[in-house]
Amino acid sequence: MAPFTRISLSCLTALLLAGAAQAANQALPANPVLDTLSPQQHQAQLTQLRQQARQAVSFEQARRAPPVGRASVSLQPMFSAQAGSWPFEPFVNNGLFRAIAGYQAHHPQAVVLLGGSITLAQLEATLGDARILKRYKDGYLLSYPLMIGSDAGLQLEGTSLYLYSYSGTALINQGWLGLNQSTLESVAGDKAGNTDRAWRPFVVAWAGSHTQVIGSTLNRLGYNANLSRGLTTALSAQQAAGTRPATLLIEGSRFSELSTAVELQHSQATIANSQFERAQQYAVDARDSQLDLHGNQLRGIDNNSGVRLRGQTRALIEDNLILGAAKAAIEISDQRGAVLVAGNSIGASRGNGIQLRNLAPTPAAPLLIDDNLLASSQGSAVDASEVGALALVGNRIGNTPEYAVSLRNAAPLPGPLLISGNRLGQVGKAVVRVEGIRDVEIGGNRFDGKALLQNLLIGDLLPFQGQVLEATVAQGRMVRVRLTR
Catalogue all structural domains in the chain, each as residue range(s) with its CATH number.
Answer: 1-60+341-485 (no CATH), 71-272 (2.160.20.10)
Alpha carbon distance 438, 151 (integer Å): 54
Segment 211-251, tens digit of pLDDT: 999 999 999 999 999 999 999 999 999 999 999 999 999 99
CB 447 within 8 A of CB 425: yes
Instruction: Determine the pLDDT at residue 195.
Output: 52
pLDDT at 119 over 60: yes
Mean pLDDT of 383-393: 98
pLDDT at 435 over 90: yes
Mean pLDDT of 97-104: 86
Going by pLDDT thresholds of 50, 70 and 90, the confidence category of residue 306 is very high
pLDDT at 302 over 60: yes
Alpha carbon distance 448, 107 (integer Å): 68
Going by C-alpha positions, the residue among 23, 63, 11, 120 that lies closest to residue 451 is 11
Q: Which of 84-98, 151-165, 208-222 has the lowest mean pLDDT?
A: 84-98
Chain centroid to Cα 417, Å, comes to 23
Q: Which of 103-112, 364-373, 402-411 has the lowest mean pLDDT?
A: 103-112
pLDDT at 131 over 70: yes
pLDDT at 423 over 90: yes
Length of the chain: 485
Chain centroid to Cα 8, Å, comes to 39
Contacts of 395 (CB under 8 A, 6+ apart): 369, 370, 371, 372, 373, 374, 422, 423
Alpha carbon distance 13, 442 (integer Å): 19
Alpha carbon distance 120, 98 (integer Å): 26
pLDDT at 254 over 60: yes
Query: Which three-class secondary structure state does DSSP give residue 167?
Result: coil
Instruction: Determine the pLDDT at residue 107.
Output: 87
Alpha carbon distance 202, 185 (integer Å): 9
Q: How does DSSP assign 78-98, residue by residue?
A: --SSSTT-TTTGGGTTTTHHH
Collect contacts of 129-138 with beta carbons under 8 A, ≥24 apart. Answer: 132/75, 136/162, 136/187, 137/162, 138/183
CB 67 within 8 A of CB 116: yes
CB 139 within 8 A of CB 169: no
Q: Which residue has the higher pLDDT, 484 or 320?
A: 320
Chain centroid to Cα 374, Å, comes to 16
CB 399 within 8 A of CB 373: no
Mean pLDDT of 329-356: 98
C-alpha to C-alpha distances, 243 to 147, 206, 247, 267, 351, nearest whole angstrom: 19, 10, 12, 11, 37
pLDDT at 173 over 60: yes
Indicate the average pLDDT of the chain: 90
> If phi over 0 gives left and psi between -120 and 50 gives alpha, with beta otherwise, what is residue 302?
alpha
Q: Which residue has the higher pLDDT, 425 or 29?
A: 425
Mean pLDDT of 6-23: 40
CB 396 within 8 A of CB 422: yes
Global pTM value:
0.92
Helix (H) or strand (E) holding 237: none
State the amino acid at position 13 in one-letter form. Answer: T
Going by C-alpha positions, the residue among 106, 108, 184 that lies closest to residue 142 is 184
Alpha carbon distance 331, 375 (integer Å): 16
pLDDT at 385 over 70: yes
Instruction: Determine the pLDDT at residue 485.
Output: 55
- Residue 17: CB atoms within 10 A of its CB come to 13
- Residue 350: CB atoms within 10 A of its CB come to 13
